[in-house]
Amino acid sequence: MERLPLKSKVLNENQRIAEELRERYRNSGTLCLNLISSPGSGKTALLERTLASLDPSTRVAVLTGDLQTDNDARRLARFGFPVQQITTGGTCHLDGRMIEKHLAVWDLDEIDLLFVENVGNLVCPSSYDLGEASKIVLLSVTEGEDKPLKYPSIFFKSDLFVLTKIDLLPYVPFDADVAEANARRIHPEIEIVRASATAPGGMEAWLEWLRARTAAFKERAAVAGSVM
């Protein structure tokens, strides 16, 4: 079969661009987080509530991917921060080249935090490094506890697992502890937070993770700077 060598070639080329992006993020002090989930797990809703909670002086930007429509960019632009839609046509994931192209119109030195909302797909985006500091996988409580076992790659590669829509737990046959134990069978060190974009206080654990991740990133950048 000729598929594997070509797939390797595409992934190698993507990896080269991803390393360049990672270097640029390091130089500009930009924390890039790559959000991945099935369609409809709540990536955009989580980002909406996150942007709404941030001080207007926060230097945050969002790239949001979809096959078609700019619905998500329009939803996210309402909060006043820079947002761009990446429309992939038929492509089932974002790749480094798409990120590079869209970053060309921004000055990364002006961005401390960059959210990349990937195409809704629990499979393909896990293969494409975008130079991000962390991948974050979202799974909603309506989706079934065994998803980490069925889609192990993305849970293995993510630093954080956000269990979303926990306000719906009373209405669905979903055991959050089992889902989290399944994620830890795939990736024992994965961090986990539970979130709801609609319930009071439902964003706290996620926002606390985000604050800690941002602080750790800044500290590491300062140490790296002082030894250079």
Could you give phi then psi for residue 30, rounded to 5 degrees? -100, 125
Torsion angle defined by CA atoms of residues 203, 207, 208 and 211, in that order, rounded to the nearest 10 degrees: -170
Rounded to a whole number of angstroms, the minimum distance from the CB of residue 127 to its own copies is: 8
Per CB under 8 A, 175 contacts its own copies: no
> Which CB sits closer to its own copies, 9 or 211?
9
* Binding footprint of its own copies, residue count (CB under 8 A): 41
List, as one string, the DSSP characters of 78-137.
TTSS-EEEEE-TT-SS--HHHHHHHHTTS-GGG-SEEEEE--S-SSGGGG---S-SEEEE
Per CB under 8 A, 29 contacts its own copies: no
Report yes or no: 40 and 122 within 8 Å, Cβ to Cβ: no
Q: Which stretch binds its own copies (CB under 8 A): 2-10, 21-29, 109-117, 214-222?
A: 2-10
Residue 166: alpha-carbon gap to chain centroid: 19
Rounded to a whole number of angstroms, the minimum distance from the CB of residue 21 to its own copies is: 20
Per CB under 8 A, 52 contacts its own copies: no
Per CB under 8 A, 156 contacts its own copies: no
Stretch 69-98: interaction string toward its own copies, x if CB under 8 A: x-x------------------x-x------
Q: How far apart are CA 112 and CA 182, in angstroms?
A: 33
Q: How far apart are CA 212 and CA 170, in angstroms?
A: 30
Per CB under 8 A, 172 contacts its own copies: yes
Per CB under 8 A, 6 contacts its own copies: yes
Select from 144, 176, 204, 214 the one that contacts its own copies (CB under 8 A): 144
List binders of its own copies among 54-73 (CB under 8 A). Answer: 66-69, 71
Rounded to a whole number of angstroms, the minimum distance from the CB of residue 2 to its own copies is: 7
Q: Single out the residue of 31, 26, 39 nearest to residue 58, CA to CA.
A: 31
Torsion angle defined by CA atoms of residues 197, 210, 120 and 88, in that order, rounded to the nearest 10 degrees: 130
Report the DSSP beta bridge partners of residue 138: 162
User: Which residues would be at the binding site for its own copies (CB under 8 A)?
Assistant: 2-3, 6, 9-10, 38-40, 66-69, 71, 90, 92, 119-124, 127, 139-140, 142-144, 146-147, 149-153, 165, 167-168, 171-173, 198
